[in-house]
Amino acid sequence: MIEIDGRRLNARLQAFAAIGGTRKGGVNRQALTEEDRRARRLLAELAWARGFSVFQDPMANLFIRRAGQDETLPPMLIGSHLDSQPAGGRFDGALGTLSAFEVLESLEDAGIETERPVVVVAWTNEEGCRFAPGCMGSMAFAAGEIPAEWQQKLATDGAAFAGELKATIESLPRAQMLPLGFPIHAYLEVHIEQGPSLEAGGISIGVVTGIQGTRWLNVEITGQTAHAGTTGLAYRRDPLRALTTALSGLYEMIMPSDPDARFTIGRISVEPGSVNAIPDKACCTVDIRHPDPARLDELERSIASGITTEAERQRCTVAISRSFDMPPCTFAADLQQVVERAAAERGLESMNMLSGAFHDALFVNRVAPSALIFVPCLDGLSHNEAEHVEPEHIIAGCQVLAQATLLLVSTADS
Amino acid sequence: MIEIDGRRLNARLQAFAAIGGTRKGGVNRQALTEEDRRARRLLAELAWARGFSVFQDPMANLFIRRAGQDETLPPMLIGSHLDSQPAGGRFDGALGTLSAFEVLESLEDAGIETERPVVVVAWTNEEGCRFAPGCMGSMAFAAGEIPAEWQQKLATDGAAFAGELKATIESLPRAQMLPLGFPIHAYLEVHIEQGPSLEAGGISIGVVTGIQGTRWLNVEITGQTAHAGTTGLAYRRDPLRALTTALSGLYEMIMPSDPDARFTIGRISVEPGSVNAIPDKACCTVDIRHPDPARLDELERSIASGITTEAERQRCTVAISRSFDMPPCTFAADLQQVVERAAAERGLESMNMLSGAFHDALFVNRVAPSALIFVPCLDGLSHNEAEHVEPEHIIAGCQVLAQATLLLVSTADS
């Protein structure tokens, strides 16, 4: 048994929420921005203050290591991310990262020596909103390399990925550099559910069995700009008419007929963007999710066909490309059992569930057994400044993480 | 009779097209930008070089005056505008302004003394794309005052209207300042048709009988942002679903059933604008036009009702406001006859037609008899970088303007 310090954890969450804090009580701390760097620096300072060592890798993944009795053993890895959505909440990512750091401090406070080292991680760019795709840090860690094409990426605000990555790494000059990817024993991540199931069931711990697949598309329809007042219907080639008509049909078709499907248009824009000019370009992003990879393919085909049909009807051309494609995953059953046992040992009810959102654990699961622990959030709200987690659930999640970590580092060799 | 210099006029059009010229051969010279100021300075320099006097008023309307025999008579006003759409053509506005200046130079070249002074005008912000509404310059001139609320306006690029207006005026320190609005005898404006009728009829001169009404709306639908992957349909309050569904229905309903109606969405945006977040805000502009004011009211009601219905279906709220409301206008019959006579005297065929676009002439018509002369443009294309006018039509338009001006300044007292 190990007791975490709930007051310290709550205070930490407040301190980090102030970095990039918004007027509405949320957080705007997008990946590789100055706010992101400030959060990373604060975590590193807290680590150094406790005598832990701080590392980072070429993806700016940040690691905090507490030594084990046998330093040759692959470490137990726990953590999450610190970056946020542009109008994000204070718990998405930060909860898991700071809970993991709280576990490290609690081990230190209790003077518990673990056989394996325990390493806390804050993965880079989980959100994927400033630079797509999401989970860049954990994806590159699992692959052992940074995809070459990432170097050319530009942020939605125009900043270059390569430069922002370099500046972020350099903002922590005291942290030692590690090569990308190293052997780990297992990975545990606490995260808010970002959905309503735990709250609805009155259950404080979700044991995540797997993650649905996600695919992101970029849609660009090209027509012809012309004067809004003089151009009759026969002369119009309006890409926005094509796009809105196609989307209207897809909204009606996809989610209402398949409760497991998710279909979201998060960005839409037109060019030239003048009140009295018919646009010549209409663009949007598409986010589709499904636990079944075959249905994901079907959905992508329906979307492409719906948009192409409407574009042709308006005598427009269309280009659709994938910017992200993440197949569904299943987590290791034995690790799920460790989490269930940890919850039971703390007297907490748990339930198995599928994750609607992807998380870093999905990618780490490719190289080591991983588990994802969910805690309820108010009204299932996330990616929203009003995102909220009750203190009792914060503490429960951290306790289960601490207990499961202890179970995993006390077991014999890997 | 008076002969204009077609070669000089074409060279001038080329010179001005280079100011804010785009790679695709169009022009980006939005109102009150540095490009707009450069075009104004060039016109003023050309005027001073010919010994004309240069004035501007508090709306930065730019006037070039050639003295008359009786300087106490209200001047004959001719001109158009120099600002463009963000991806605009080289003739929209510039053609009328530079044709008017060509008339002034031709009068000077021929040594023709006119009883009345002749004044060329370049109106400020006809396009209304950087600062809404359009025709700010002529509207304020006709009203004799600048509406107080304009001072607070912000550009689409964030610039403040008041500051940009001041800087534009100050960029021509040698030009004398006039108070806003002064008596004029009549107003003539040459403009490209921005539609296909003249080209289709093989006719080089359009005598505009009136202008259809225009109304601009700002639509803002508010829902709730949430995670794209975790949020099931029952929990979504998606304002973009509401907006695209409403627009799809409106596109289908308005123009196909009423050939006189125009319905255009030129801008659309969502917040927070993240690929994996359901938006909490979806906004668009609406541009509706109709020759019949009662139908404009009906259309506005249909749009508001269509959008409100879909917003409520998605449990969203909606706010719709007017940013521009211009009733239809009819031009003075006797001035139309002067233009017809001028065309006939130059051996050019003309036809009467309604204008789909609003123009500065509509506002000047409120304080003095005004007429609008159209010339054909290729494929009816305008608000497009590919906008093109054949040199013969450029010359024809300018000749008719010169002839009509002469007819109006030679007639006896006003």
Residue B358 pLDDT:
86
pLDDT tens per residue across span A86-97: 999 999 999 999
Average pLDDT of the residues of chain B:
95
Nearest C-alpha neighbor of B340 from the set B206, B189, B211? B206
Kindly determine whether residue A247 and residue B244, on different chains, have CB atoms separated by under 8 Å: yes
Rounded Cα distance, B222 and B231, in Å:
17
Beta-carbon contacts of B289 under 8 Å, excluding residues fewer than 6 positions away, are A228, A229, B212, B213, B214, B215, B261, B262, B296, B356
pLDDT tens per residue across span A116-145: 999 999 999 999 989 988 999 999 999 999
Claim to verify: residue B105 and residue B19 sit in the same structural domain: yes
Could you say which of B87, B245, B259 has the minimum Cβ distance to residue A251? Answer: B245
Largest CA distance in chain A: 79
Distance from CA of B361 to the nearest CA of A (A): 16
Kindly determine whether residue B269 and residue A268, on different chains, have CB atoms separated by under 8 Å: yes
Claim to verify: residue B247 and residue B348 sit in the same structural domain: no
Distance from CA of B272 to the nearest CA of A (A): 6
Claim to verify: residue B97 and residue B158 sit in the same structural domain: yes
- Stretch B245-261: mean pLDDT, rounded? 97
Q: Which chain B residues are Cβ-neighbours of A256 within 8 angstroms?
A: 233
Rounded Cα distance, A58 and A210, in Å:
28
Per-residue pLDDT band at B412 (split at 50, 70, 90): very low
Residue A163 pLDDT:
97
Residue A288 lies in a domain: yes
Residue B78 lies in a domain: yes
A379: nearest CA in chain B? B235
CB B320 within 8 Å of CB B272:
no
Q: Which chain B residues are Cβ-neighbours of A280 within 8 angstroms?
A: 87, 384
Residue B381 pLDDT:
87
Per-residue pLDDT band at A411 (split at 50, 70, 90): very low
Residue A412 pLDDT:
38
Residue B1 lies in a domain: no
Distance from CA of A205 to the nearest CA of B (A): 17
Could you say which of B214, B231, B275 has the minimum Cβ distance to residue A229? Answer: B214
The structure tokens 């308005």 sit at B254
Kindly determine whether residue B384 and residue A280, on different chains, have CB atoms separated by under 8 Å: yes
A257: nearest CA in chain B? B233
pLDDT tens per residue across span B49-78: 999 999 999 999 999 999 999 999 999 999
Which of A264, A295, A326 is a domain's end point?
A: A326
Claim to verify: residue A187 and residue A236 sit in the same structural domain: no
Best of B85, B235, B244, B323 to disrupt the A interface (most A CBs within 10 Å) is: B244
Classified as helix, coil or strand, A292 is coil
Residue B319 lies in a domain: yes
Question: Per-residue pLDDT for A414 more than 50?
Answer: no
pLDDT tens per residue across span B150-193: 999 999 889 999 999 999 999 999 999 999 999 999 999 999 99
Claim to verify: residue A266 and residue A336 sit in the same structural domain: no
Claim to verify: residue B298 and residue B368 sit in the same structural domain: no
pLDDT tens per residue across span A295-314: 999 999 999 999 999 999 99
Amino acid at B9: L
CATH number of the domain where residue A181 is located: 3.40.630.10
Q: How many domains does chain B have?
A: 2
Residue B261 pLDDT:
96
Q: Determine how many CB atoms are found less than 10 A away from the CB of residue A69.
A: 11
Claim to verify: residue A362 and residue A403 sit in the same structural domain: yes
Q: How many CA atoms lie within 13 A of B93 on its CB side?
A: 32
Claim to verify: residue A333 and residue A313 sit in the same structural domain: no
Q: Which chain A residues are Cβ-neighbours of B276 within 8 angstroms?
A: 127-129, 134, 214, 216, 264, 266, 287, 357, 383
Claim to verify: residue A204 and residue A256 sit in the same structural domain: no
Amino acid at A255: M
pLDDT tens per residue across span B280-304: 999 999 999 999 999 999 999 999 9
Q: Which chain A residues are Cβ-neighbours of B155 within 8 angstroms?
A: none
Claim to verify: residue A337 and residue A316 sit in the same structural domain: no
The 8-class DSSP code of residue A72 comes to: T
CB B365 within 8 Å of CB B332:
yes
Average pLDDT of the residues of chain A:
95
A240: nearest CA in chain B? B265
Write the DSSP assignment of A210-256 as a string of letters: EE-EEEEEEEEEE-B-EETTT--GGG-B-HHHHHHHHHHHHHHHHHH
Residue B119 pLDDT:
98
Residue B345 pLDDT:
96
Kindly determine whether residue B276 and residue A241, on different chains, have CB atoms separated by under 8 Å: no
Kindly determine whether residue A195 and residue B285, on different chains, have CB atoms separated by under 8 Å: no
Q: Domain range spanning residue A190? A: 6-212+328-410
Q: Which chain A residues are Cβ-neighbours of B287 within 8 angstroms?
A: 228-229, 275-276
Residue B90 pLDDT:
97
Per-residue pLDDT band at A157 (split at 50, 70, 90): confident
Higher pLDDT, A326 or B376: B376
What is the four-CA torsion angle of A315, A316, A321, A323, rounded to 10 degrees? -140
Residue A356 lies in a domain: yes
Task: Count H helices and E strands in chain A, helices first.
Answer: 11, 17
Question: Per-residue pLDDT for B352 more than 70?
Answer: yes
Claim to verify: residue B367 and residue B225 sit in the same structural domain: no
Question: Per-residue pLDDT for B356 more than 80?
Answer: yes
Residue A1 lies in a domain: no
B157: nearest CA in chain A? A273
Beta-carbon contacts of B262 under 8 Å, excluding residues fewer than 6 positions away, are A228, A229, A230, A231, A232, B212, B255, B287, B288, B289, B290, B356
Residue B87 lies in a domain: yes
Which of A326, A355, A372 is a domain's end point?
A: A326
Could you say which of B228, B267, B356 has the minimum Cβ distance to residue A287? Answer: B228
Q: Which chain A residues are Cβ-neighbours of B306 within 8 angstroms?
A: none
Kindly determine whether residue B231 and residue A356, on different chains, have CB atoms separated by under 8 Å: yes
CATH number of the domain where residue B304 is located: 3.30.70.360
Which of B291, B326, B361 is a domain's end point?
A: B326
Claim to verify: residue B305 and residue B333 sit in the same structural domain: no
